[in-house]
Amino acid sequence: MIVPIDELMSRLKPFLSKELVGEEAFGHVNAVARLLPEVSGGFCFECRMEAGAPRVDYMVCCMRTDGGPHALADALAKTREQLTGPLWDGVREFSRQWVDPGSPLARVPVLWLEYDVEGPTTNPKPFAFACVQPEFGQKPPGSRRETGATVDESLQLTWRALEAFQGAPVRPDIARTVSRCFEQLPDFAEVEHVASLACRGSDAVRMIIGMPREEVGGYLERIGWPGSRAQVEELTKTWLDYLHFAEVNLDVSETVGPTIGLALPFPEKPHEPWAKEFLQRMVDLGLCTPEKREAILQWPGRERVPLTGHRWPSNLCRTVGAKLVVRPDAPVSVKVYPYFECRFSLWSDV
């Protein structure tokens, strides 16, 4: 469901630790969020966990099932003179196709808009991610070997989304590498989201790929990732051993870039031993302060409340995820993503 951002922020604020999002950072994020004030019922912050890292970025989730395509189109029409430049032109072109029932992009279930919030801004650069799995979140990935399913539709959505974002087809040399990333997918794996890195001054493509955890090292080796397979397998064993499924973030140009991300969800009850162990390891390695660790442990939860103008109560849900960033010849770093979402509640308190 779509909820005005002012209400979401006011409901969120009492639960948000200043250790994660300081007052200044919250002000910058809030100003950016209000530029498109009614496009979603969920968003998250991107928080750096080490000491002396107060910057916080912002991501908003537009969902087809919530009416996100038309809500986004309306918001973009109202801000045509404020949100300008080639990156916003790309988001508008994607939006135009997203609301067209005859377009392949009408099958995209989710669009994320991420903003790097380095300070006050009235025209942020959007980093747009399209989900290229039409049934994403509705059922777990299946075995292509058993069903004979192909990646053809996801690949078609990838080309259409990237062309919309960039205003031009993907360069042939980059397209070959993207295609290889699809062709080498292990069974049960799928490309979930794609984005253009034009917002960061690059022709590269960001790909977020979900796969069985034990397949990560072999997959990276097959697609030509220049890093160490042994290193990444040790990382997945050490940090992700409780997961069956892992998400890999890749930056792809004419070759696969050296920096990758390994994303992981936290449970809704993060005091489970493995979650506390994960966070303590971050502290022990200097990747996280003890205060931020405690803030993350306290974040998850839910409340059932009536929103302004609604008779039926809604569930306000707080969850969290993390991402390990792996760079060659550099220590691992960690980002954490506190997520806040409004969900419809079946029962009324009346």
- Distances from the Cα of 250 to the Cαs of 295, 296, 312, 336, in angstroms? 29, 26, 42, 18
Both 141 and 255 in one domain: the answer is yes
Whether 350 shows a pLDDT value over 70: the answer reads no
Identify which has the larger pLDDT, 241 or 177. Answer: 177
Q: Please report the pLDDT score of residue 312 as a whole number.
A: 84
**Residues 180, 194: one domain?**
yes
Considering the domain architecture, whether residues 122 and 15 belong to the same structural domain is answered as yes
Long-range contacts of 157-163 (CB under 8 A, 24+ apart): 157/104, 157/105, 157/107, 157/108, 157/130, 157/132, 158/132, 158/182, 158/191, 158/194, 160/97, 160/103, 160/104, 160/105, 161/94, 161/105, 161/108, 161/130, 161/132, 161/194, 162/194, 162/196, 162/205
**Residues 214 and 115 both lie in one domain:** no
Place of tokens 């390695």: 285
Residues 158 and 173 grouped into a single domain: yes
User: Cα separation of 280 and 287, whole Å?
Assistant: 10
279 domain residue, yes or no: no
Question: What does the block give as tokens for 35?
Answer: 């530029």
The pLDDT, as a whole number, for residue 347 is 58
- Encode pLDDT of 293-318 as tens digits: 999 999 999 999 888 887 888 999 99
pLDDT tens per residue across span 39-76: 999 999 999 999 999 999 999 999 999 999 999 999 99
Is 276 inside a domain boundary?
no
Residues 250 and 182 in one domain: yes
Residues 164, 90 contacting (CB under 8 angstroms): yes
| Structure confidence at residue 346 (pLDDT) | 64
Q: Residue 317: CB partners within 8 Å, gap ≥ 6? A: 301, 302, 340, 341, 342, 343
User: Do 39 and 70 contact (CB within 8 A), yes or no?
Assistant: no
Q: pTM higher than 0.85, yes or no?
A: yes
Please indicate, yes or no, if residue 283 is contained in any of the structural domains: no
Q: What is the mean pLDDT of residues 73-85?
A: 97
Mean pLDDT of all residues belonging to the chain: 94
pLDDT at residue 329 tops 90: no
Give me the number of domains the chain comprises. 2
Does residue 212 carry a pLDDT above 50?
yes
Q: For residue 254, is it within any domain?
A: yes
E strands, 125-240, where?
126-131, 190-196, 205-212
Does residue 235 lie within any of the structural domains? no
- The CA distance from 47 to 54, in Å, is 8
pLDDT for 349 beyond 70:
no
Do 148 and 56 fall into the same domain?
A: no
Domain of 105? 1-129+301-322+337-344
pLDDT at residue 293 in the model: 94
Q: Do 164 and 251 share a domain, yes or no?
A: yes
> Mean pLDDT: which of 170-179, 231-240, 315-324 is highest?
170-179
